[in-house]
Amino acid sequence: MASRPLLTDDKLSPLAREVFDDIRATRGTDYINNFWRALAHDPETLKATWERLKGLMGAGALDPLVKEMVYIAVSAANACEYCCHSHTAAAKAKGMTDEMHNELLAVIGMASQTNAMATALQVPVDEIFEV
């Protein structure tokens, strides 16, 4: 359960409603996921977060699917349950195949393993890696 209520459409402030309208239009679906309903108590943060996300996760220097996979990687390392679920769903919707998902998981696991070992050993950074 959330530590505060998820706002239903009839409880939204005008600014939050505007953001929800834009989420619906941008995504082409009427469904608003719980994260936005939890954020809607603070319409300005809702708006700032949504607009930054929308601007960032579309086409750019990186493919939108690559960005969703990066999001999953960060979410796993941060142990964010909600984010692992929501961004795995988003990555599948953007075309992540089972093979890609398998490989992504293996890389996340590998990185976590070598991260922990490098940190435990406090391996000094090689001079050639510094700019």
Per CB under 8 A, the list member of 13, 22, 84, 94 interacting with its own copies is 84
Number of helices (H), then strands (E), in the chain: 6, 0
Specify the residue, 2 or 21, whose C-beta has the smaller distance to its own copies.
2
Q: Nearest CA to 36 among 76, 79, 86, 78?
A: 86
> Does 95 participate in binding its own copies (rule CB under 8 A)?
no
Q: How many Cα atoms within 13 Å fall on the side-chain side of residue 129? A: 4
Alpha helices in 5-131 (DSSP H): 14-27, 34-39, 43-57, 64-77, 81-93, 98-121
The identity of residue 14, as a single letter, is P
The identity of residue 22, as a single letter, is D
- Provide the minimum distance between the beta carbon of 110 and its own copies in the complex, in angstroms, as a whole number: 6
Per CB under 8 A, the list member of 11, 26, 89, 95 interacting with its own copies is 89
CA-to-CA distance for 17 and 9, rounded, in angstroms? 8
Site for its own copies in 5-64 (CB under 8 A): 5-6, 31, 33-35, 38-39, 41-42, 45, 48-49, 52-53, 56-57, 60-62
> Does 93 participate in binding its own copies (rule CB under 8 A)?
no
Per CB under 8 A, the list member of 21, 72, 94, 95 interacting with its own copies is 72
- x/- site string to its own copies, residues 100 to 129, per CB under 8 A? xxxxxxxxxxxxxxxxxxxxxxxxxxx-xx
